């Protein structure tokens, strides 16, 4: 075993010396997962909000979702947008510190502080789509939003994950350079990166080999383009940001749950407001014309959370360790939020 460990350490050092991103990040291949959130097609959803709620919209893949429209609060909505409660779970569970498996019976999500800034602020829908299946989570049509998540067991008790090995992963955090055309000349508007910040209830870890870095100890986003080979990314977006890809780790971070409530801040990290404009609008010949977009017409980003810890096959494996995981299949509904269509 000592020989195997020595060989493993040698191979691991060789891998780190090959200059991957986050070489000292968490090795996702060696993490035991105690939390499994699977598709819950029979889940019941209830939304409590002082804002306009419309129900039973259908996405292009057939998924059902409800919408909270908080545009009446303007561009700087403050406080609670709404409380979402999912019940009637059948497939999701966690394993406690004693090895006892518990069914998850309820998930409660509090949405708050849906804000948009910059030149595109009036153009944003200022709404949030909430999927009936909780594993698909939300699509936020504003510049930033906060989420608080709590889970309850089969006895209706709030689950404390502080003594368990429970992890959740924010995924699909892509971004990079955005250009626009000015009198036939392509110009660089700057960079925009999708981001997820841990506010409370979890400890953030960068994943070894992922393009997503950890900033200030709790904010996940990439520092360089991870979606377009023309702008320096070693991979194009469709190589890693899709269901079943062996490279989904490339756009993901990792959060260890440390209590009863996970608080996250979803936002965009932009190097300039012009870049933010370019990322949200169609670029045509000429400087970006925001007048071409009606107010409250631009959608936002998908906030994706999964308990499927994205594996990195390029990292050397321990020969003496055999790990068995039970994960739900990672699901990707859509990347472009504009693909959501009402029926």
Q: In this structure, what DSSP letter does residue 132 have?
A: S
| φ/ψ of residue 16, rounded to 5 | -60, -35
Closest Cα partner for 309 from 326, 294, 322?
326
> CA distances (Å), 49 to each of 73, 128, 265, in order?
13, 12, 20
**Model pLDDT, residue 53:** 98
Contact by Cβ (8 Å): 55, 46: no
Q: Over 80: is that where the pLDDT of 237 sits?
A: yes
Q: Over 90: is that where the pLDDT of 80 sits?
A: yes
Contact by Cβ (8 Å): 280, 125: no
**Model pLDDT, residue 134:** 94
pTM of the model: 0.87
Label the pairing between strands 301-303 and 138-141.
antiparallel
Q: Any residues with CB less than 8 A from the CB of 280 and at least 6 apart, and which?
A: 120, 123, 124, 298
pLDDT in tens, 101-130: 999 999 999 999 999 999 999 999 999 999
Contact by Cβ (8 Å): 182, 284: no
Q: In this structure, what DSSP letter does residue 207 have?
A: B
- Could you tell me where the beta strands, DSSP code E, fall in the chain? 35-36, 44-48, 52-58, 64-69, 80-87, 93-95, 101-115, 127-131, 138-141, 144-153, 167-170, 175-182, 185-200, 202-205, 212-215, 219-222, 254-257, 262-270, 301-303, 305-306
pLDDT in tens, 151-172: 999 999 999 999 999 999 999 9
**Model pLDDT, residue 127:** 98
Closest Cα partner for 230 from 273, 161, 281, 178?
178
Closest Cα partner for 325 from 306, 311, 304?
311
Residue 298 half-sphere exposure, CB side, CA atoms within 13 Å? Answer: 24
Q: Over 70: is that where the pLDDT of 335 sits?
A: no
In angstroms, rounded to a whole number, what is the distance separating the alpha carbons of residues 93 and 148?
A: 19
CA dihedral 194, 304, 120, 225 (to 10 degrees): 20
pLDDT in tens, 129-140: 999 999 899 999
Q: Where are the alpha helices (DSSP H) in the chain?
A: 2-16, 237-240, 273-280
**Model pLDDT, residue 52:** 98
Summary mean pLDDT of the chain: 86
Question: Residue 163, class by beta-carbon neighbours within 10 Å (0-12 exposed, 13-18 middle, 19+ buried)?
Answer: exposed
Q: Over 60: is that where the pLDDT of 326 sits?
A: no
> CA distances (Å), 78 to each of 114, 138, 203, 224, 230, in order?
7, 19, 26, 31, 39
């Amino acid at each position: 075993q000592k020989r195997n460990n020595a060989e493993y350490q040698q191979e691991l050092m060789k891998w780190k010396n090959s200059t991957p991103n986050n070489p000292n990040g968490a090795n996702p291949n060696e993490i035991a997962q105690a939390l499994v959130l699977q598709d819950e097609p029979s889940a019941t959803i209830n939304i409590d909000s002082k804002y306009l709620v419309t129900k039973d919209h259908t996405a292009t893949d057939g998924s059902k979702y409800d919408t909270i429209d908080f545009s009446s609060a303007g561009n700087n909505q403050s406080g609670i947008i709404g409380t979402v409660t999912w019940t009637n779970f059948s497939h999701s569970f966690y394993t406690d510190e004693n090895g006892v498996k518990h069914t998850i019976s309820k998930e409660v999500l509090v949405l708050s502080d849906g804000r948009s800034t910059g030149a595109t602020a009036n153009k944003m829908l200022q709404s949030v789509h909430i999927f009936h299946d909780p594993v698909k989570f939300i699509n936020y049509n504003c510049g930033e939003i906060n989420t608080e998540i709590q889970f309850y067991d089969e006895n209706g008790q709030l689950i404390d994950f502080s003594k368990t090995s429970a992890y959740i992963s924010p995924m699909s955090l892509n971004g990079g350079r955005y250009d626009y055309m000015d009198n036939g000349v392509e110009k660089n508007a700057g960079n925009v990166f999708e981001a997820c910040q841990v506010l409370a209830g979890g400890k953030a870890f960068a994943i070894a080999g992922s393009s997503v870095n950890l900033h200030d100890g709790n904010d996940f986003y990439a520092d360089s383009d991870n979606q377009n080979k023309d702008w320096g990314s070693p991979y194009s977006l469709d190589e890693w940001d899709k269901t079943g890809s062996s490279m989904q780790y490339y756009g993901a971070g990792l959060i260890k749950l440390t209590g009863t409530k996970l608080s996250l801040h979803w936002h965009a990290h932009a190097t300039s407001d012009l870049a933010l404009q370019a990322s949200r609008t169609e670029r045509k010949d000429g400087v970006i014309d925001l007048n071409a977009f009606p107010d409250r017409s631009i959608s936002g980003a998908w906030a994706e959370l999964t308990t499927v810890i994205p594996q990195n096959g390029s990292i050397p494996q321990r020969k003496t360790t055999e790990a068995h995981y039970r994960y739900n299949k990672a699901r990707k509904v859509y990347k472009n939020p504009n693909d959501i269509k009402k029926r």
